Structure formats: structure tokens, C-alpha cells
Structure 1
Amino acid sequence: MSAAPTDHPLAAWDNPPAIAPRGTVIVVPGRGEHPALYGRFGQRISADAYLVRAVGDPAQDPDAVAAQIRALLNDPALPAPRVLAGSDGGALFAVALAAGGADVDGLVLAGLPVTGAPAAPPGEGSSEIEARTSCPTHGRLLGSDPGFRPGALNEPLPDAWFDAADLSRVTVPVLGLHGRSDTVSPFDAARERYAEGANVELYALAEGPHDALNDRNHRVAAATVLLFLERLRLGAALPEIAVRELPGPGPASTPGPVPTPGTTPAAATAAATVPAAGSAAGSGEVSGR
């Protein structure tokens, strides 16, 4: 019997006691996942004083999960900025909510689907886990967790979600994290989908598979999310906090100037590449604003 969202109550990670909360991140899991699988991400983000709450898998019960999210957004104890952070189907669901007028201040999207069914069906067992993550720790967790639903990545997402998840209607800042080696939602197709939005920053994770938040580059992904949250606290224009003035070692090309808000659509959708763990450094260019 499949587990419904109510079988997995909300998971919560709070700010350190001596530090006032800086904002709220609501995690929306992907197909087959449940809130507790985001413990590593939640602990890392909450350590920097953001309250993190994780809801159920919307692919199992979209109405129940939407109600969970509404309750969290209406909770006066959860401070702004309030950000939905979705992975896989949870990312698509988050876009649909934001496009429909949900009162959120930003979106973090990981492994955003581009079609209802995977581009390359991952099957089940070890092949599905490899399509999700190359992190051995997270892979072992998925393989041993009784609440994880094997084979869920093969389940198509509703067409209605894709119709509702119109990035051109999303007015809040969007951070996209996408594995360049994602076989479930291929990067090039995802980049085209992100290009529909006017307020998007997209990062490519070098050699990354589908689960951008729980892959071997999870520290880099979390750091990228934290920088986005810190900039969002300064305003929806996401003013730069750290600006690279010299290119340093790496590719020979010298980065151009940091683009300003409202510039060309090409600048708003150019993808940065975050280097794979243990590989040579990537360009570090920030796409979008």
C-alpha cells in the first residue's frame, strides 16, 4: 500500500537557539520521497537560522499537501521571506502554486520535470537510485528507508500540473538547480523551460543526476540556496552580496560584468555550472540578475 502524505507528518528543522530566525523554507519532496529524507538539507539550511519545514509528496495527495503548504504560509510564527523549495514533482507543484498566486517570496527548484514521464525511465532498484543521486550516503538511505517508494520516478506527473506550472506567470525570484547529467529531466530541455521565466537564476551541477539537493554536491547546492536566501532578504531584485572582481584559476575566459535586474532574456536564463565534487573549478558565473 502506498504511503499517503498523512503517513509522514511534517518534518521541521529550527534555527539555533541563540540566533533569531532569518526566514522560512518549505520543502516539497519529489515522487516517492517523504519529509524525513531531507534531513541533511534541512539541518544545513537551519544551521544558518532559516526555519525549514518539509511536507508530503504531492504526487500522492496533492490536495493534502497544498493544505499543508497553505497552513505553513499562514503561520505567523514562520517569518518571511517564505520560500518553497521543491524537488522533482515537488518543484513542478511549487511552480504551479506560485503561478496561481500563492503568497510566497521565492522559489528554489531542483530537478524540475519537463515532461510527465521521465525522458529515460530509470526502472527500479539500483538503477532508479543511480538516476536520482550519485551520493553513496543518500543512495544507501534510499535503499534502506521503508518509507521511500521504489519505482516512483516511473510514474507520470499530471498534465494539469504542467499546464498550471507556467514560469512566465511567476513574479517572485526563482533559483533553479539542475544536474547536467539528469536523465529523468534532461538539462537542455529544463533550461528551455526555465527560459520562460523573467526572474530566474539557473545553476547547472556538473555531472549531477536528478536530485540536485541530495547528490554528492549537496554542500554546494545548499550553499547556493543559502546565498539566494541571503540576497532575497535584501529584496526581490536580489542585490549581489559577493561580487568576483578577478577570475582566479580555471577556464581561460574572463567573466563579464554581473548583469543587472531586468536586462536581456538571454542574461536572465544563462546557466552557471557548479563543478562536481573533486573536479576542476567551474566558471562560477551567476545567471540571471
Structure 2
Amino acid sequence: MTSVQLTSAATSSPAIAGWDNPPAIAARASVILVVGRGEHPGVYERFGTRLALDGYRVRVVGDPTADPDAVTADLRSLLGDPDLPGPRVLAGSDAGAAFAAALVATGAVDVDALLLVGLPATAPADPVEDGATPAPAPGPVGDDEDRWAAQLAARTACPTHQARLSADPHLRRAALDQPVPASWLADADLSRIDIPILGLHGTADLVSPPRPARARYAAAPRAELVTIDGGRHDALNDATHRTAAAVIVLFLERLRLGAELAPIARWA
């Protein structure tokens, strides 16, 4: 498995990061991920490494809330790369999920499937799912350190990832308080998307409450929504990140067999 830095600004994190399958394993599919508010591609190193070890090529592009045109250009460049094998899955986390869904729904990009993590909802915060432990709300509370602690808890319950984010000089900490552009939420109409969609959503997500998110997926003709019990906003970097990765790998394996997503494993 190899890690590649494809492009970089001189004073920031890579604009595109990538992880390739090990040389002894043939590439099985490609996943191109759009990061969330305030994030950068390096935040998803653990995710990229894990999928690459299973034979998938992973590319991660930047934060569309910072420069949507640049992110769109990067996506189109990657989708034109003959070294990225199909099927090709466009993924997004947080605002990146809304951005990715909007691009597909409006026909701006052509992919084989969508993976949406913590898809933003349009409704105000609802109660978390029954039995879930709520995370602290991410909005402004007290001083900057209090606000950051609340944002960390809303993003992830994984102490390793919390420590990484806290030490990251490239993370824009206040970005999660900024609203997702209304045009992305309007354009991200899942009812207009006729390719397979996998949604991952934490039941304790206070950034994007589960109930409005369920309604968005219910409108899609070909969506599967998997909820993570007690999960917070960033399912790819939460305490249950291994479970999330396993769900994604199963989805990818089914997609390789055909767009109808025939089941492979059954609970008898």
C-alpha cells in the first residue's frame, strides 16, 4: 500500500491526497472523498489507509466551503484519470457530502455510486435516536477552548482522532459553526439521483440530526442508510471507524458485482 501526495500548496496541507492498493493486490475500485468544513485531505489518512489495504484506490480532495471551484476542478481531473479503476464512488463527509450529492444531482459529474457521511440536514436539531448518548452541541459556548471542546465532541468520540485534530495546524476550527451553503442543500436532492447511494449517519449526530437526514434518504430511489449506534458526526473518524469502514467495503464489493447491489452476505 502506498500513500501519495498529488498536489500541494506551499504553506498548507495537500490539496489532494491519495492512498493506493498494495502492489501485490489488484485495484478493485476507486473512492474519491470530499472533506467537510474546515478539514483537509490529511484528516482522512486512517480511512484511506484502511481501504487501500483492501485493494481500493482512495483520493481525497479539499474543503469545498473554502474553494468550491478548485474542488470541482480537482474532482473532474481525478475522474478523468485512467489510473483510477471503476467502479468509481464519489464520497463526501459533512458539507462535502452535500457538495458531492449536489454535483451528481445536477449532472456536473458522472460516477457509479455515492457515499454520503453525516449528510447535512435542513431542519433544526431534533432529539437523538432512542438510547443514544448525545454529544455536546457544537455551537458557540463560552470561550474559544470551550467552543473547540464542544466541536471536538460533536465531530468524534475517538480520543485518538480528537488529539490529532487538536494538534492539526491546518484545520480551520471555527468552520463547523458556519452554515452549509443553502444552494448545495437545495441541489443535493437525492430524489434526482438514480445511482446507488450509501449513507452513513451517527444516531447521536447533533451537527446533522438523524431524523431530517432519514427524510432526505427516503426520497432517493436507490439509497441505503446505515446508522451507527451512538455515532457522532464524522462516522469515518469516530470511535466506531472500523465498523464504518467494514460497511463501506461490503458496499463496494456489492457494487463491483453490479449496480443492482446484489447481496453477498446474509444473516440466516
* 1:122 counterpart (122, 131, 139): 139
* Aligned: 1:231 with 2:215: no
SS in 1 for 2:47: helix
* Aligned: 1:32 with 2:24: no
Taking the aligned partners of 1:116 and 1:155, their CA distance within structure 2 comes to 15
Aligned to 2:3: none
**Equivalent residue runs for 1:1-289 within 5 Å:** 7=12, 8-101=14-107, 102-115=109-122, 120-123=137-140, 124-245=147-268
- 8 Å Cα contact 2:200-2:244 kept in structure 1: yes
Per the normalisation by structure 1, the TM-score is 0.81
Taking the aligned partners of 2:139 and 2:229, their CA distance within structure 1 comes to 20
More helix by share: 2
CA deviation digits over 1:169-219, x for unaligned, max 9? Answer: 111100000000001111011101111101000011101111111100000
Per the normalisation by structure 2, the TM-score is 0.87
The structure whose RCO (Cα within 8 Å, separation 6+) is larger is 2
CA deviation digits over 1:28-80, x for unaligned, max 9? Answer: 10001000000000000010111000000001000100000001011111110
- 8 Å Cα contact 1:171-1:199 kept in structure 2: yes
Matched AA of 1:135 = C
Taking the aligned partners of 1:109 and 1:158, their CA distance within structure 2 comes to 17
Which runs of no fewer than 5 residues in structure 2 stay unpaired? 1-7, 127-136, 141-146
Which runs of no fewer than 5 residues in structure 1 stay unpaired? 246-289
Matched AA of 1:169 = R
Shift of 1:122: 2.9
SS in 2 for 1:125: helix
Taking the aligned partners of 1:14 and 1:238, their CA distance within structure 2 comes to 24
RMSD of equivalent CA atoms = 1.5
Taking the aligned partners of 1:9 and 1:150, their CA distance within structure 2 comes to 18
CA deviation digits over 1:81-123, x for unaligned, max 9? Answer: 0001100000001101111222100011110001398775433
- 8 Å Cα contact 1:118-1:156 kept in structure 2: no
- 8 Å Cα contact 1:11-1:54 kept in structure 2: yes
- Worse-matched range after superposition: 29-38 or 149-158: 149-158
Q: Percent identity?
A: 56
- 8 Å Cα contact 1:28-1:94 kept in structure 2: yes
Taking the aligned partners of 1:31 and 1:221, their CA distance within structure 2 comes to 20
Moved over 2 A (4+): 5-9, 115-124
Taking the aligned partners of 1:140 and 1:28, their CA distance within structure 2 comes to 22
